[in-house]
Amino acid sequence: MSLMDTAAAQRQALPRRPVGDYYATPTRCTEALLAADPPPWGDVWEPACGDGAIAKVLKAAGGYVPVATDLHDRGYGTKHVDFLEERRLWAPSIVTNPPFNLADEFALHALGLGAGYVALFQRLSWLEGAKRHARLWSKHPPSRVWVFSSRQTLWRGDDPDPKGTGGAIAFAWFVWRHGWAGGTQLGWLQTPDPRAVAAGLM
Ligand SMILES: C[S@@+](CC[C@H](N)C(=O)[O-])C[C@H]1O[C@@H](n2cnc3c(N)ncnc32)[C@H](O)[C@@H]1O
């Protein structure tokens, strides 16, 4: 069996979605957030850190001390910390890409803990939904929604030979700043199109 066959077989054996909804955030997405709408300098909690895809960018930026935790052991940060069970704010700011199926709970919990700045990376379609509107958006409108103009490619964190999601989903950063009274503002983030980068066009 060739190496390619082995990788394809391993991929077929993976569950339909990775455990903990583990998809890694591309570096450029976090860099774009830090350029456009950064958290205050200092400690920043990444409470679903995965392998540190976001935390490592925070650290590299200088001025931030990432405090990284995750429910699962991904080889980075403090493992076996269920964010939704935490009663203590580990840092005044929270930046993460939470599991899609728990995104509402992550947002409500982060805001309930009293974080001064919360930034969540999610599908743009997270804005939709009547129940979600009643529970989240109507009570806690974000200060900014930052839409990526180019589609972003996310990789399954558990794939031994990652192929990416193919950029079929629109993503955005959703930011809350404590005390913000300016209504929700919409902004756009320009990142190089990953396909253009791969093709040497950018
Ligand atoms: C979409 S991945 C994102 C990983 C990382 N934040 C990144 O941006 O690359 C979601 C992560 O949330 C973690 N997770 C799932 N449920 C959790 C919970 N209740 N508390 C903390 N982490 C959780 C998973 O283990 C996974 O690493």
Distance (Å, whole) CA 35 – CA 14: 36
| 51 C-alpha to ligand 1 centroid (Å) | 9
Is-contact 79 70, C-beta < 8 A? yes
Question: Cα–chain-centroid distance for residue 96?
Answer: 4
* Tokens, residue 28: 């450029």
What is the torsional sign of CA 90, 94, 97, 101? positive
Is-contact 79 73, C-beta < 8 A? yes
Whether the per-residue pLDDT at 202 is higher than 50: the answer is no
Q: For ligand 1, say whether the CB of 71 is within 6 Å of any of its atoms.
A: yes
Sort strands 117-123 and 171-177 into parallel, antiparallel or unpaired.
antiparallel
Q: What's this model's pTM, rounded to 2 decimal places?
A: 0.88
| 185 C-alpha to ligand 1 centroid (Å) | 27
Whether the per-residue pLDDT at 101 is higher than 90: the answer is yes
Q: For ligand 1, say whether the CB of 53 is within 6 Å of any of its atoms.
A: yes
pLDDT band at 15 (very low <50, low <70, confident <90, very high): low
Whether the per-residue pLDDT at 158 is higher than 70: the answer is no
Closest CA to 36 of 95, 83, 101, 103: 95
Residue 121 phi/psi, 5-degree rounding, is -90, 120
Supply the DSSP string of 160-175, one letter for each residue. Answer: SS----TT-S-EEEEE
* Tokens, residue 64: 């931030």
| 148 C-alpha to ligand 1 centroid (Å) | 21
Q: According to the model, what pLDDT value does residue 118 have?
A: 98
